[in-house]
Amino acid sequence: MKNLISSFIIYVQKEKGYSENTIRNYESDLRQFSRFLATKKDIENGDPEIDLVDYSLIRSYLGDLFDRCHRSTIARKLSALKSFFKYLELRGLASCNPAAEIATPKQERYIPTYLPIDDMFALLDQPDRQKELGLRDVAILELLYSSGLRVSELVGLDIESLDLGSRLVRVSGKGGKERLLPVGRKAIAAIREYLEHSDKMRKKAGYPKSQGPLFLNYRGGRLSTRNVHRMVKRYSRECGIRMEISPHSIRHTFATHLLDGGADLRSIQELLGHVNLSTTQKYTHLSIDKLMEVYDRSHPRS
């Protein structure tokens, strides 16, 4: 089974073009399932045979997870198993897909964490603009809020991804799908200033002029998602934001503020790169809350 998992991971990486996060999660989930099988069956060398897996065994595995994991996590692990066994079935390595008929658990209602406008502006003002890394962090925060990027999309940007004159950025999203996004004037100004002050570091790192990663770490290499997570958390603490936020919270803030400003769901769906409109609809409750505030404040009989 270990070899089959490795083969499947190469397949989703090379042929399906899944994101790094999805690939990492699928590999972790499948190896966890393999360890579960090893505790349930008498298996030599702890490497279970694929023919031992049936519907009831998968149901037992998922049942074991319910006390320890959120439903969204269980749904992801089930998705990994369905994709894995479908791959094996198509290649004649398994006689059937024992996970195919198992229903995905009903998801909890998920309310996105987002920042009010005043808190978002305070976060944008927090980095020290007198320092090179401060200018970089301003550019990162402005771009996250301006265009609603995923953090993985942000760190994957190259200088060539930006058209500063047209205020556009080309983003490679989930599954390698590209989308062209508008960038606000404040974000463009912040990026221009950062690029001007990082020119020496880029030359030292050996990047050709106007090429290479857009956002660099202090060594001159490409910034990682972990760096951005740490940076956002540090600035949020420094400016007194009490809620726990992440770069993804800024993406939620982007979508929420657009919706409150009158943008329609279809437009927000395109900007966020959601395949299904239902994914975008989680933001509608926020708009309804705002409508209720206006109603309670304005209607004579409220």
Give the model's pLDDT for residue 112.
72
Give the model's pLDDT for residue 138.
97
CA atoms within 13 A on the CB side of 91: 11
Give the model's pLDDT for residue 185.
94
Please, which contacts does 60-67 make with residues 24 or more away whose CB atoms are closer than 8 Å? Answer: 61/33, 61/36, 62/102, 62/105, 64/36
Give the model's pLDDT for residue 168.
93
CA 187 vs. chain centroid, Å, equals 21
Give the model's pLDDT for residue 48.
62
Question: How far is 51 from 38, CA to CA, in rounded Å?
Answer: 13
- Of 145, 226, 237, 250, the closest CA to residue 191 belongs to 145
DSSP codes joined into one string, 148-167: ---HHHHHT-BGGGEETTTT
Which residues, at least 6 apart from 144, have a Cβ–Cβ distance to it below 8 Å?
151, 154, 247, 250, 251, 254
- Residues involved in catalysis: 150, 174, 248, 251, 274, 283
Give the model's pLDDT for residue 279.
67
Which domains are present in the chain?
2-90 (1.10.150), 117-249 (1.10.443.10)
Give the model's pLDDT for residue 221.
92
Give the model's pLDDT for residue 47.
55
Residue 92, burial from CB neighbour count under 10 angstroms (0-12, 13-18, 19+): exposed
Question: How far is 13 from 81, CA to CA, in rounded Å?
Answer: 16
Question: How far is 157 from 235, CA to CA, in rounded Å?
Answer: 22
* pLDDT one-digit tens code per residue, 31-78: 999 999 888 755 555 556 777 788 989 999 998 898 888 888 999 999
Give the model's pLDDT for residue 216.
94
Q: What one-letter code names the amino acid at 279?
A: T
pLDDT in 10s for each residue of the chain, 302 residues: 888 999 999 999 888 878 788 889 999 999 999 999 888 755 555 556 777 788 989 999 998 898 888 888 999 999 999 999 999 999 988 888 999 989 888 766 666 788 999 999 999 999 999 999 999 999 999 999 999 999 999 999 999 999 999 999 999 877 677 889 999 999 999 999 999 999 888 988 889 888 899 999 988 999 999 999 999 999 999 999 989 999 999 999 998 898 888 888 788 888 888 777 666 666 666 565 666 666 677 667 65
- Of 124, 144, 113, the closest CA to residue 228 belongs to 144
Give the model's pLDDT for residue 246.
93
Strand ranges across the sheet with 162-163:
162-163, 168-172, 178-182
Against a cut of 0.85, is the pTM above it?
no
Question: How far is 221 from 130, CA to CA, in rounded Å?
Answer: 22
